[in-house]
Chain A
Amino acid sequence: MMIILVSVTVLLIVISVAQILKIAELSAVSRGEKVYHISEKENKLQAILMLVFLVFYFSFFAWQYLKWGKYMLPISASEHGVGIDNLMNVTWALIIPVFIITHILLFWFAFKYSFNKNRKAIFFAHSNKLELIWTLLPSLALTVLILYGLNNWNKIMTPVNPEKEHVLIEVVGQQFSWGARYAGADGKLGRANVNFIEGANFMGVDSTDKNANDDIIVKGEFHVPVNVPVQFIFRSNDVIHSAYMPHFRAQMNCVPGIKTHFNFVPIITTAEMKKITKNDKFDYLLLCNKICGAAHYNMQMNIIVDTKEDYQKWLSSQKQFSQNN
């Protein structure tokens, strides 16, 4: 396949270079006063190509959408994600018409007003009215977007109310794997720092801290209950990573020396999502989204969204930190 592709390309190149040499010869012949002059025929051709390009560009856009639109992320699996998706759709509804209209104007003008020696261009240097209109219009549209966007943003970034039912999970990134730690029955995470990292204790949990005893540490995958707010704390042991959970429309950097936070409410269990996507192998993923070294491209952890009962069952089958030591 590749070989065919490359040979076709190379062939095309050779042909076009040959063509060019011919053109160059011709232009050398006509070398005289007005070589730089673009003939009316040539100019007309370019004008028509403008329209051809417009059609190509829009069709290419549509073709991509039809072919690949279905691979975009499935419906949001988190509560705030639904809000993000709505905001996204509103934004698209604004952007795409502007994209289409301005492009039609651009290429239509280019076609329509191509050079004609019997016509004069108009002398139209400014118009306060027009300029005011197209300062105000985008300002209005943007005001709506900003208000709508910030409303969403503030809701998303508000931490979980610690009084209410929630799950507290700490996610730690390191080259090139992830770990997750649950606060356990006391609802408190034990102290942790890179200085305590030793052997299996890759998260650096301080074993002298009582709060750490019932902490639960997992690798490879972690579970969360559906419809319960999950408060995440992120850390990193080495370089910056980023915990990206696309299906939940969630992302937060993991920065060494700093704790960062994010929270969301999962609303669709893994089992349900398998049905929705008609894919038995579907799994939610957490992947690294900040360049972090050679194997950055393969740093992942599965996320399983369970019903509350299944989650409890899974959690109680996990070893507590004190049992490990």
Chain B
Amino acid sequence: MSTHHHHEQDFLFKYIFSTDHKMISKQFLITGFIMGFIGMIMSTLFRLQLGWPGESFWIVDKLLGSWAENGVMAPDKYLALVTMHGTIMVFFLLTAGLSGTFSNLLIPLQIGARDMASGFLNMLSYWFFFVSSVIMLISLGVEGGAASAGWTIYPPLSALPQAIPGSGLGMTLWLISMAIFIISSLLGSLNYVVTILNLRTKGMTMTRMPLTVWAFLFTALIGIVSFPVLLSAAILLIFDRSFGTSFYLSDIFIGGQVLEYSGGSPILFEHLFWFLGHPEVYIVLLPSLGITSEIISTMSRKPIFGYRAMIGSMLAIAFLSTIVWGHHMFVTGMNPFLGAVFTFTTLLIAIPSAVKVFNYLTTLWKGNIKFSPATLFSIGLVSTFISGGLTGLILGDSALDINVHDTYFVVGHFHIVMGLSAVFGMFAGVYHWFPKLFGRMMDNKIGSIHFWITIVCSYGVFFPMHFLGLAGVPRRYYTNSEFPLFENLIDINVVISTFAIVIAFGQLLFLYNFLYSALRGPKAPQNPWDSNSLEWTTPVEHIHGNWPGEIPEVHRWPYDYSKVDESGEFVGGNDFIPQTTPLFQNEKNEKH
């Protein structure tokens, strides 16, 4: 049986039902990017409406069809687009796309394992993700339109088709898709944790792991703790919607009649949702923090500053992230004492975050920095992490949140601190590990143009939103032209939308660079960035099992860059010492 392979079967198992972590990583990456592009196009479409409300656009007409009579999108379809945009960006691009790609690619390669603990579960994880993506996209085309209750899908809006058309079949599909997505995420996360704990090569102690792996470990742990809660929340919502239960519903009069629900509470849903929802922002962010720590250290030819402090702060962030969810609910009428507790825990997160920023800065200090596109995006991440993190101090302070909650201030804040940081980290990762993914190099020049367009336009889009928010403009508004109060703000929206259009076109540069390089880019050398970590000891061509012979043994941490001896010469002669190099004779064995 096994001796008799058909060619198609080979193809099928190599590219489709592969259990090889490197192939699965590419599958996640490409699916994630496709979803991300769709999410971005959605945002550009609704930015057209916000910038030039009520104007007819040829492109809106063509792309949205019956959602946009005469090229002007309908108000409820605006909400459908916003909802799908948020869902796709947060879950499909930045949870599955980001974690799925880099955890899969880097965990085995960087800890010295032949593959994930379970290749089969890993494959299932991808295919569940794929199916959930397809269902989510199908939901765009159904009767009543896609889910329209915001990515947070608060009931009763999400529970009652009478409340908004998108809460019909569209919402059912959203829930099914997310349930499958959660299963995918759990399968992936469990696999990552088990692999990291059990399959490290000889000498790879926990404190010799690159920060990327630490970040993936914490990400997976938070996911395991919080995603099941979202799953339960979704299941209860399905019950309320389809089987007449009242977990979340009570005292509702809609469409001219009183509904029979009684005794439930929408607030319960909010608690369950945000018990995932807040950790989710760190699920999105931590991998990017790990990726950029690694890149900044490698490219500035310096050890990461405060390795243990970096791990400690990630641990603190991961832990705190599970006890701050209430900061999304300060004005739901929750007990003010509870609000005070959540303010306290929330502002505490600023401490490990600040430590991380200072450590990034110190790593750059007196380095010898090479600006690959990955370096550029990593530095961009430090900037967005600071810019967005600081406004978090305002939103996390319950007294201040009263006035800015649910305004554009929030949209500006979370896009910068979570959206931009995570996307920058993802781009950085792709540029840096492209040689490991595709065995070829990406073009640096196009990469740097891509970076500068992206960062300038990103701030052009999201910075002005703070001003909108401080002027009192609520988020999820189809237009703010209905209020004399907001009359003067029209030109802010024009500025934002213009930048949004340019940034969308700017991503074509990336697309081109990615596709061209994957197919025709120059062949990669084995260790293009003179890096210490283990993945660069594997052959450029992907082989099953990663290393042709024995898995190498590890003798040191991954950050021995620019280490000098007493005479001021580089230890070992180079400005980097791979982890596989045994200690030199008179080298001090330092603890880091």
Contact = CB atoms under 8 A, between A and B. Distances in A.
Interface of A: 2, 5-6, 9-10, 12-13, 16-17, 20, 23-24, 27, 31-33, 35-36, 38, 42-43, 46-47, 49-50, 53, 56-57, 60-61, 64, 68-69, 71-73, 81, 83-84, 87-88, 91, 94-95, 98-99, 102-103, 105-107, 109-110, 113-116, 119-127, 130-131, 134-135, 137-139, 142, 145-146, 149-150, 152-154, 156-158, 174-175, 193-195, 197, 204, 234, 237-240, 242, 244, 246-247, 249-253, 255-261, 281, 283, 285, 287-298, 300
Contacts of A127: 306
A135 B448 CA distance: 34
Contacts, number: 385
A16 B333 CA distance: 53
Contact of A16 (B308, B359, B449, B562): B449
B463 A114 contact: no
A237 to B, nearest CB: 5
B562 to A, nearest CB: 4
B232 interface: no
A102 B361 contact: yes
A106 B351 CA distance: 19
Interface in B313-339: 331-333, 336, 339
Contacts of B498: 5
A120 B570 contact: yes
A298 B483 CA distance: 8
A57 B474 contact: no
Contact of A121 (B301, B351, B464): B301
Contact of B405 (A43, A64, A156, A251): A251
Contacts of B202: none
Q: For A71, A194, A234, which residue has the most chain B Cβ atoms within 10 angstroms? A: A71
Given A239-B160, A240-B156, A125 B559 contact: yes
Given A251-B331, A257-B250, 4 more contacts: A91-B400, A121-B367, A126-B592, A297-B477
A261 B367 CA distance: 56
A296 B403 contact: no
Interface stretch (B18-26, B87-95, B380-388): B380-388
9 contacts: A9-B505, A127-B306, A157-B339, A194-B251, A251-B403, A253-B332, A293-B163, A297-B476, A297-B478
Contacts of A68: 464, 467, 471, 489, 492
Interface string B477-514: 11110111100110010000010011001001100100
Contacts of A253: 331-333
Interface of B: 52, 55, 74-76, 79, 149-150, 154, 156-157, 160, 163-164, 249-254, 258, 262-267, 300-309, 331-333, 336, 339-340, 343-344, 347-348, 350-351, 354-355, 357-362, 364-372, 376, 379, 382-383, 386-387, 390-391, 393-394, 397-400, 402-403, 405-407, 435, 441, 443-446, 448-449, 452, 455-456, 459-460, 463-464, 467, 470-472, 474, 476-480, 482-485, 488-489, 492, 498, 501-502, 505, 508-509, 512, 516, 522, 524-525, 528, 559, 561-564, 568, 570, 575, 590, 592
Contacts of B300: 113, 121
Closest 4 A/B residue pairs (Cβ): A257-B250, A260-B333, A246-B472, A157-B336
Contacts of B568: 120
Q: For B258, B367, B402, B568, which residue has the most chain A Cβ atoms within 10 angstroms? A: B402
A199 to B, nearest CB: 11
Contacts of B446: 20, 23-24
